[in-house]
Structure 1
């Protein structure tokens, strides 16, 4: 017995070509002949153990040894809940996404066909139904073989022992006590659980390679089938992978996989589960899987929408837990059922409409967000041509970008809320020089581009999109009030004034706000438009309706918390004012016909240098924002060959964005009864002139003076000069009838400076 300790020393191994350790070969002529003496001793001892096992049973013996210190059974914990993939569904109940780390799809024993179970029992543990957790004969046979032969080690693990190893012994040190504990726990497990429970656990947890855990995942991965669809040969093939799923991987090592399957077929013949003829037929016809599959009915891919939902659950809410770790575990292992707002028909319509934008070498792309007015539910979201992991992951629908003139929807709404009327007049003459509060480096804000509007009504300046008029209007209303109104109208988890600057650049009350210098996303703009289209009541945009756990218990249900951000009359007047954008304004070429069919309102926008172009609009049903830009942000959309070929040499908001918006909204309203908004309130009184104190000075006429004339001597006596009538020049006196809204004032009803529309307003000296 003195030589027995040599048995426990590590064997010197040589690596095989597949990385599997191989026992060093020692021949009779080698210097290690003494090893045979050791083996002989092992055989003798093992033979004695075999006699003992046959006589009294090895498993109970080991059980008593393991518990000799207390004579108490070793308690087994419950099975750890299986990791389960979480599913995401659209508003119609269609599966649209799956979140998982390992591909695990638990299946109950009753749902596993008998021939599948037969195949695994035959290949892995053909005495499973009769042993008590440990197969003593197999254990001794493997022990004798492993020490008496240089061949690769034989295994003696039963299915029960494999369950024990996977469930209860993770992290245990692989020393001499490990196998004893495994045997002990296997016997105990058989006493506490039925064979069916053990088999179910085994088939749900065993690893098959290619990130597939359990029979259901393996059936999908290798054959694109559900478990109940597996044939007997397919089941046997999967059973053959369990011993070494990496070595027998059919995708990466097809020859080894075929050889292993041949061994499995031979085993099935030995166990009389296949006849010789059937075995030949199976060997000749069975096709080794060549690629990873998905079940045909589960045609789901990562999308911009599903990625947004994932990000919201992990980082944007505490629905799934207080810590990131809790949320991550629940989402990827908890078997959740997540029901979303996505309308499959509207999403298809949105993706089709996006294709109105021609493909270009520069990679210009379009984004779209569409929100249901009555609820705030995001019904469609397109972040670009398509989500491609590690290649095209930027979600343009949520990417803030300069908005151009589309930001004017907020300025207009704030002005009307503060008392302005569509027939009020304002100066839109270009160029214009205005104060630039908040910017110490540039005390003046100068606009030289765009269309000159002169003195005209607010309604006309809106449908013509006059920059100088709205830059002036934003300061008349008060920049802080405009920014506050914008935040309230477009509020969401993505846009709040208290978000850290590292998360979201804040909206700033600068003069450049009116020209779209602040950045907004299509979600922000659609949310703001929803507030107007819903008659002043804002519903924060949301993506998730409800979340259930794996047992069907409700974890979360969306609760609407609407907020009135505009008076109904102000919202209706704003909508009515923006209708002309489609019929006679900057979007008329693309949307005039649409406006005759469906009541709608909107606003175009074009960023400086044509880096981005927008259309934001609504019906009574949906509010939708579309943006077109280069994902790299700063490529001018002027004379792009593919766009020129499509008849658009200069991309503005009234071109591709309006076209995409119209195509989508036309499809979205197919078969839907669409009504118009109620008529706006009647005008409160005569039109007034809106002016900016300190820049524009209202005046009254206090008298007239005749210009001084000069006498002109004709060049020739016969020349007679026509005399022109001399008009008296009015003498003006400045009248201080108002002051600029003080910085920080956000009262939506604070009065704006105005005078009668026919008053004299001149530049201040």
Structure 2
């Protein structure tokens, strides 16, 4: 009879081994999967890193600072921008051997032995980092450092980036000799205190040319490379001297100098240049606000390796006549501005194609201020009211001739105190046509119109018109309590001027390489968002603003003009945004500290409308453009009345009833492409020219009075 116990033991053993084998197989398989996925992810990241590395052949004609050429809307060269006009490339033969050897002793003693990567240094650095539990040593060769400075300056020390650097360093070693690489490195590397390259370092620290440096000075400069911002400052001079002595010892260890030479150099006196501050040198001297805005756009779209290392041609929508007129008028008008107005800004945009023709971001010296008031937000005041009324037109809640109540109104809000808007003149006119309400910028009427359609709908229409900045969904936003930039407002008013066609404002037309290869083309994205007729109603009223309303100071004689004034609470921000049939121009005035302007007679209508007229008068006197005409509509509807809105805005039973001939027409369905919004919420509610000193609503209150 078989031994059942023995048989059971064997079976159990086999089952146990099988189970263990399965577990091990699963673990190995899982590990392989993890390794494969990790490798794949790293490979993808490395490929993405390498995507921005240009052909290394451009280093044959190495220049650390290629120009960015800026052209205007007629393809005429405006300026060539250089980041550092004082930077000079010095050939290796003019750099003292001591200087070269000091850098090798400090950064890469085996430079002439490796092929771009020093694996021993990498292992040593990895061990040091593990012991310190942080990155304390890089282990990078001079070739790798050069690659990082040329192509990966904006990045850290991630694994994929190190792999990418190593791959490019290896390729660089194949294409160029060691002396060529060292020459580029010495002319490229940063030495602190604004000194890029060895020649600037010699001049900045010792007031001499690089070929005049002695051993002691050479070791000092070489020691700055590891931590230029720290060691280059006078406050850390003792640390820099200690680093210099370490390098002199290293040079002796490498056999570059004798021990005695090193000791002598340690005690050789260093005479530092009296001023380490670099002299300010401007990269460009024409149209600084426009050019700097273009450079900011280029920086967002192109890596420095393309823009600076290889050079590019940037074709813009700049109109030099418009820009010159803007700069001249602002420089003249700021001298005569009322007390409290110390800054003004202007932006002009073509109605035809949305091209940004002029940007003047402030008064005074750009290089002192460098804050662009034309592209940064300010409280908009009553310049926002046209979006409220356009919404009412589109939703068939009102027509231009509808009567609306200009009578006392109290808005009861859940999350804040009651809100009672007042008109700038402190009066109430009773029932008045919508046309008059907007032309004379009556605040109460604008709030009632916003209640009819709901602020969420108003904000939606503003977005469709092209507004990209943040607008609070509160009823006070109907009077302009939020903040937008002149660029934003001018772009959206351009939609009015085109009869409902939106075009995103564009400063760029196309970008080319220095040899003429097209890198990117910026086509206008024109598409209709609003029906022509309702927009023509709004434009007709905005013409009345200029002809007989709050913006009469903006009249241009025989040239048609339309627009809207705006004044924030306490006159901290003054506006006029207007357009002719071919150009939209937004002008803003205020001060850098957002301080109120005490003079109650200072409004957007009295100050900025006049500035707007001065600019347009000068511009049209220098260009041959016929006056043109706006689109008009014969179908504005009869004079109709609306039922009184109850004072309590929380009532949901009341509805505004409006009759006009276009009732029932549907708005076209459109697709709109938005730019990235500027994250900025408004400050104070608006005041004159529409605005009113009101309490800002807390939280979101939705008003849905009839549609």
> Normalised by the size of structure 1, how large is the TM-score?
0.54
Q: Secondary structure at the match of 1:484?
A: helix
The answer to whether the 8 Å contact 1:304/1:383 transfers is yes
Measure, in 1, the Cα distance between the counterparts of 2:189 and 2:478. 62
Measure, in 2, the Cα distance between the counterparts of 1:511 and 1:193. 67
2:108 aligned residue (154, 173, 193) = 173
Question: Residue 162 of structure 2 corresponds to which residue in structure 1?
Answer: none
The answer to whether the 8 Å contact 1:84/1:105 transfers is no
Question: Residue 410 of structure 1 corresponds to which residue in structure 2?
Answer: 387
Question: Residue 264 of structure 1 corresponds to which residue in structure 2?
Answer: none
Q: Secondary structure at the match of 1:602?
A: strand
CA shift, 1:681, in A, is 1.9
Deviations 1:567-598 (A, max 9, x none): 1122222111111222211122x233x1x221
Q: Which has the higher helix share?
A: 2
CA shift, 1:617, in A, is 0.4
Deviations 1:229-281 (A, max 9, x none): xxxxxxxx97856887999xxxxxxxxxxxxxxxxxxxxxxxxxxxxxxxxxx
Q: Aligned pair in 2 of structure 1 residues 293, 410: CA closer, same or farther (>3 Å)?
A: closer
1:687 aligned residue (611, 632, 639) = 639
Question: Residue 591 of structure 1 corresponds to which residue in structure 2?
Answer: 554
1:652 aligned residue (574, 595, 603) = 603
Q: Secondary structure at the match of 1:559?
A: coil
Measure, in 2, the Cα distance between the counterparts of 1:605 and 1:192. 63
The answer to whether the 8 Å contact 1:529/1:617 transfers is yes
Q: Aligned pair in 2 of structure 1 residues 518, 657: CA closer, same or farther (>3 Å)?
A: same
Deviations 1:428-464 (A, max 9, x none): 23xx224356x52134443264353321111112221
Measure, in 2, the Cα distance between the counterparts of 1:543 and 1:241. 47
Please identify, of 470-479 and 446-455, the stretch whose mean Cα deviation from structure 2 is larger.
446-455
Q: Secondary structure at the match of 1:542?
A: coil
Residues 155-174 of structure 1: pairs in structure 2 closer than 5 A: 172-174=107-109
Q: Secondary structure at the match of 2:604?
A: coil
Residues 543-558 of structure 1: pairs in structure 2 closer than 5 A: 543-558=507-522
The answer to whether the 8 Å contact 1:549/1:555 transfers is yes
Q: Aligned pair in 2 of structure 1 residues 171, 487: CA closer, same or farther (>3 Å)?
A: farther
Measure, in 2, the Cα distance between the counterparts of 1:737 and 1:193. 79
CA shift, 1:658, in A, is 0.8
CA shift, 1:533, in A, is 0.4
CA shift, 1:530, in A, is 0.3
Question: Residue 422 of structure 1 corresponds to which residue in structure 2?
Answer: 400
Question: Residue 305 of structure 1 corresponds to which residue in structure 2?
Answer: 290
Question: Residue 87 of structure 1 corresponds to which residue in structure 2?
Answer: 68
Measure, in 2, the Cα distance between the counterparts of 1:351 and 1:425. 43
Q: Secondary structure at the match of 2:415?
A: coil
CA shift, 1:365, in A, is 1.0
Corresponding pairs, count? 486
The answer to whether the 8 Å contact 2:645/2:654 transfers is no
The answer to whether the 8 Å contact 2:581/2:630 transfers is no
Measure, in 1, the Cα distance between the counterparts of 2:412 and 2:279. 61
Residues 325-474 of structure 1: pairs in structure 2 closer than 5 A: 327-355=303-331, 356-357=333-334, 358=336, 362=340, 364-386=342-364, 388-389=366-367, 391-419=368-396, 420-429=398-407, 432-435=408-411, 440-447=415-422, 449-450=424-425, 451-474=427-450
Question: Residue 624 of structure 2 corresponds to which residue in structure 1?
Answer: 672
2:562 aligned residue (586, 597, 601) = 601
The answer to whether the 8 Å contact 1:453/1:469 transfers is no
Please identify, of 510-519 and 665-674, the stretch whose mean Cα deviation from structure 2 is larger.
665-674
Q: Aligned pair in 2 of structure 1 residues 384, 293: CA closer, same or farther (>3 Å)?
A: closer
Question: Residue 241 of structure 2 corresponds to which residue in structure 1?
Answer: none
Measure, in 1, the Cα distance between the counterparts of 2:97 and 2:620. 67
The answer to whether the 8 Å contact 1:83/1:334 transfers is no
Question: Residue 9 of structure 1 corresponds to which residue in structure 2?
Answer: none
Q: Secondary structure at the match of 1:396?
A: coil
Name structure 1 gaps, 5 residues minimum: 1-76, 107-115, 126-154, 223-236, 248-289, 321-326, 496-505, 639-648, 698-733, 740-746, 751-765
Q: Secondary structure at the match of 1:628?
A: strand
Q: Secondary structure at the match of 2:594?
A: coil
The answer to whether the 8 Å contact 2:348/2:359 transfers is yes
Measure, in 2, the Cα distance between the counterparts of 1:442 and 1:382. 40
Q: Secondary structure at the match of 1:546?
A: strand
Q: Secondary structure at the match of 1:614?
A: strand
Bigger CA radius of gyration: 1
The answer to whether the 8 Å contact 1:591/1:658 transfers is yes
Measure, in 2, the Cα distance between the counterparts of 1:309 and 1:342. 10
Residues 75-224 of structure 1: pairs in structure 2 closer than 5 A: 79=59, 82-91=63-72, 92-96=75-79, 98=81, 100=83, 124=94, 172-174=107-109, 211=195
> Normalised by the size of structure 2, how large is the TM-score?
0.58
Deviations 1:475-515 (A, max 9, x none): 223221111111111245xx3xxxxxxxxxx3123221222
Q: Aligned pair in 2 of structure 1 residues 513, 201: CA closer, same or farther (>3 Å)?
A: closer
Question: Residue 594 of structure 2 corresponds to which residue in structure 1?
Answer: 633
Deviations 1:167-188 (A, max 9, x none): xx798433xx567889xx9xxx
CA shift, 1:673, in A, is 2.0
CA shift, 1:84, in A, is 3.1
CA shift, 1:291, in A, is 9.8
Measure, in 1, the Cα distance between the counterparts of 2:105 and 2:486. 49
Q: Which has the higher strand share?
A: 1
1:535 is the counterpart of 2:499: yes
The answer to whether the 8 Å contact 1:476/1:692 transfers is no
CA shift, 1:212, in A, is 6.2
The answer to whether the 8 Å contact 2:405/2:432 transfers is yes
Q: Aligned pair in 2 of structure 1 residues 192, 85: CA closer, same or farther (>3 Å)?
A: closer
1:511 aligned residue (475, 478, 502) = 475
CA shift, 1:677, in A, is 2.9
Q: What is the root-mean-square deviation in Å for CA atoms of aligned residues?
A: 4.9
Measure, in 1, the Cα distance between the counterparts of 2:545 and 2:399. 17
Name structure 2 gaps, 5 residues minimum: 1-55, 116-141, 143-171, 222-276, 659-665, 670-707
The answer to whether the 8 Å contact 1:404/1:607 transfers is yes
Q: Secondary structure at the match of 2:421?
A: strand
The answer to whether the 8 Å contact 2:401/2:636 transfers is no
